[in-house]
Amino acid sequence: GQQVMQIPQYQHVQEGEDFTTYCNSSTTLSNIQWYKQRPGGHPVFLIQLVKSGEVKKQKRLTFQFGEAKKNSSLHITATQTTDVGTYFCAADTGTASKLTFGTGTRLQVTL
């Protein structure tokens, strides 16, 4: 079955440092979504990427979809303590509801 791996599993940064998580799929994707889950919370939708090579920005967050539509990344510039949580990519192979979630990257930000 489809596998979606994320690296790193965990990252601890000082506030103000940058952070990047990478998502890799074993198969070509129709699109990819990103979610954030705060500790004790539930996943919250961040964005969807559809086009090959697509780059989207949301304030300090930059999302990128690979040219081959098999990988994606999320980059946070100048992290803040509010960025703490686990970031998941979710792969869609053509059935929007049957998402395959990545393993997640847990981000810890300290002052």
Partner 1 sequence: KAGVTQTPRYLIKTRGQQVTLSCSPISGHRSVSWYQQTPGQGLQFLFEYFSETQRNKGNFPGRFSGRQFSNSRSEMNVSTLELGDSALYLCASRAGQSSYEQYFGPGTRLTVT
Beta strands in the chain (DSSP E): 4-7, 10-14, 19-25, 31-37, 43-49, 55-58, 61-65, 71-76, 85-92, 100-101, 105-110
**Which residue's CB is nearer to partner 1, number 7 or number 78?**
7
Q: Which stretch binds partner 1 (CB under 8 A): 13-21, 51-59, 67-75, 102-110?
A: 102-110
**Which residue's CB is nearer to partner 1, number 61 or number 79?**
61
Chain centroid to CA 12: how far?
Answer: 16
Q: How far is the CB of 18 from partner 1 (least distance, A)?
A: 25
Interaction site with partner 1 (CB under 8 A):
1, 31, 33, 41-45, 48, 88, 90, 92, 95-104
